[in-house]
Structure 1
């Protein structure tokens, strides 16, 4: 699963950007690529120094097809296993050219992400910017949590999981994604570090996560100032990822057609041999208002107890981590005006959501297909006495904001 983690080992990296040799975002030797008719630059940040490297090349080929005849700057930061990281530009004729090549670096480092975004803006300036984050990912779970550390994810292995089961993937399952794993260094990236790395004076037009579990309310709330819109999945994304040949034109229209991109993603998998897809389009300016409605629910029933087994889950772990946000909140203070206010605000926050009838999870054993009975498009952690990640959850900005007391 593609997953956002806190870096859980203290690793000091010397980041060497060969083309400029310093941290400032100055243009390259040939100057910036300026075309006044281009309205948007999109950076695809492919952290593929892990077991997704074959999928990275396949997606890159799809991107060259998708950009043919499209007016816009598509820049790809590509870090694949065994090769030097580089910054590529895919042209509207489908050709690719290297803008810069770098020494070996940690693509799971927020500093590398920050500099890749700065170099993209310096070399291919435009009035607006979008960002596609492509890698493994595991939502809000920090790399410092006992569950993640014991799973061996930092070393690029599936591991045995928290208490032997929580993070264990079936080795015979289909491959799925997480975010920000660099197998050569053992690093992962925490969501708070990522949010800080991509935040600027002006929010990005959008962030699209081609990574698992990123449509988590805990993740989205941390990103509320980083981009105007977020496209992400509450469940796992199969390693093939987004169908870029079909989706890319939607990202370069005058106003990006993000709902169309979501529909194309689900339709692609709905007609495939493995019909597994969940997606949501979230308007980040509504997230603080959503948090206020959930805080009101909790205030009405501060000692609430919601059984996680009673709410739709989005993975096949032995102890479920990701549940449907709407299903969870509907059980805190059901039938109240506060509950109706939450439902109304959720509709203003999640502009679009869609899914296949079931989804695929690489976790657990036996059947990997889970039927979807309800899905608002956004997941949430449900604190319950004795759950393994309660302490980590209590430290999230979302948990602190809504006032949940975690045992």
Structure 2
């Protein structure tokens, strides 16, 4: 199967890690503690990925790289009851130094179990919360105190959610721990937990973490990052393959190259797969060029209020969601990430060229499968994503998608990226502007299919009365609703649902608030749905 691998290998230099106070060493069994590289795997199987975690642990043990002194692999492994009975069906948290096994992987762990971090080397009563950033910090501190290596690679293994999800308006992240109440490490938490700990490379064997927001927040915690901008298959990285590739030339650049090449070979038949490695030392430059691009976007908002009622934001959203590479398809509602390079290229502004050039310098190695389209594949991926927004369906299954005001992203200011970027300000403006047909005072005629809705928006600039009448055709039974601010039941300020064919609908309110009002027309019943209704808008309120 054909696939694309895009690689730009940079000259790499690594600063030595600053010395810091470290906790006392634990009384662990005798084992090698000196190597060129320390690979720390934060293996959170305390969820529905438990069986996959065991499989990946076996892949680590199958790496012949463990037989020499280049690489030491340490694994903090947490399990849960109910998803796998392999390896004795233990369910606590254990600490291991990986040991090579030449047998066929059978979900049995042969690695050396260690004591440390308050964990014993025997029994099954220890439990750590892998969703606590303090656990992650303690893992790295313990490894630094007990092992002497030149380089450190930290892998965070589990579910990943990118930067936002709208179910409970929570900012999400990685490392979900079922035993600890589904706790997780938030996107704004892993950078503070890892700062100053001498990590050279951070990898996310998790979905959707290859984002500018993630890279920017981690720029002071490591020099390099490896992550997928899209979903990852449950099998994730193939550990024995990339470890052995890396072992042939154990440099930071070859680590990045080995991971991307291994991933491309492993998942070449899945069209949505992608993986990239980023030089985090280039992120500040990308951020500056991105801010210039956003400034160009913000300058264009001056044209949004216009006498022709052209809905420019809606046209933009249509362009972005229809032509730009995306990493989460919003067909049934949900959040969407866009490829940042493809955004700059397909929505060109004066600053686009500089932004694309900066991204090229940051993305060291990149694989994307050329199969599929921008919705179900990654043919135009350049490896780095950006959060666009959350979508929901207005009257599913008959309605259309609508961009949602995502409060946590635009108002929460979570993390360094959102605290310092204009992007959330632009999205806030984009969310507040409705994405429907913009009309003014007067009449609008339109036919409407049975059990479907039409949506309109009007802009009230001065308070006063607002009068809506819907002339319903004789063969139909239509309803009329009015909202202020957004299409939510809590925002409804008027409704008319007279029963019967050909019965007109009327809403008259005192519009004490200016701003956007949304009109919803429902064709509830009808025998000749090709007949048009007539919507009339008038009143003493100022209607732009």
Q: Same fold (TM over 0.5)?
A: yes
Task: Please name the residue that 2:293 is paired with.
Answer: 297
After superposition, give the CA deviation of every residue in 1:181-203 in whole Å (9 maximum; x if it has no partner): 1111221211111111122153x
Task: Please name the residue that 2:96 is paired with.
Answer: 88
Which of the pair has the greater relative contact order for Cα pairs under 8 Å at 6+ separation? Answer: 1
CA distance change for structure 1 residues 284 and 314 in 2, over 3 Å: closer, same or farther?
A: same
Task: Please name the residue that 1:232 is paired with.
Answer: 227
Structure-2-length-normalised TM-score: 0.58
Structure having the larger proportion of residues in strand: 2
Task: Please name the residue that 1:112 is paired with.
Answer: 135
Q: Quick one: distance in 1 between partners of 2:169 and 2:187?
A: 19
Q: Quick one: distance in 2 between partners of 1:32 and 1:110?
A: 29
After TM superposition, the runs of 4+ consecutive aligned structure 1 residues lying more than 6 A away are: none
Is the 1:269–1:276 Cα contact (8 Å) retained in structure 2? no
1:342 matches 2:355 = yes
Identify the range of structure 1 (99-108 vs 219-228) with the bigger mean alpha-carbon deviation: 99-108
Unaligned stretches of 5+ residues in structure 1: 1-22, 155-177, 362-368
Task: Please name the residue that 2:406 is paired with.
Answer: 390
Task: Kindly report which structure 2 residues correspond to 1:6-405, keeping only aligned pairs within 5 A, or say none.
Answer: 25-30=23-28, 35-36=33-34, 38-66=35-63, 67-71=65-69, 72-82=71-81, 83-92=91-100, 95-100=110-115, 101=119, 103-141=126-164, 147-149=166-168, 179-185=174-180, 186-200=182-196, 202=198, 204-252=199-247, 253-256=249-252, 257=254, 258-270=256-268, 272=269, 274=270, 276-304=272-300, 305=313, 306-307=316-317, 308-310=320-322, 311-317=324-330, 318-330=333-345, 333-334=348-349, 336=350, 338-358=351-371, 370-383=376-389, 387-388=403-404, 390-394=406-410, 395-396=413-414, 397-404=416-423, 405=425
CA distance change for structure 1 residues 47 and 389 in 2, over 3 Å: closer, same or farther?
A: farther
Task: Please name the residue that 1:364 is paired with.
Answer: none
Q: Quick one: distance in 2 between partners of 1:389 and 1:350?
A: 31
Structure-1-length-normalised TM-score: 0.77
Cα RMSD (Å): 2.9
Task: Please name the residue that 2:434 is paired with.
Answer: none
Unaligned stretches of 5+ residues in structure 2: 1-20, 82-90, 103-109, 121-125, 301-312, 392-401, 430-544
Task: Please name the residue that 1:164 is paired with.
Answer: none
Q: Quick one: distance in 1 between partners of 2:297 and 2:286?
A: 17
Is the 1:294–1:342 Cα contact (8 Å) retained in structure 2? yes
Is the 1:33–1:123 Cα contact (8 Å) retained in structure 2? no
CA distance change for structure 1 residues 346 and 61 in 2, over 3 Å: closer, same or farther?
A: same
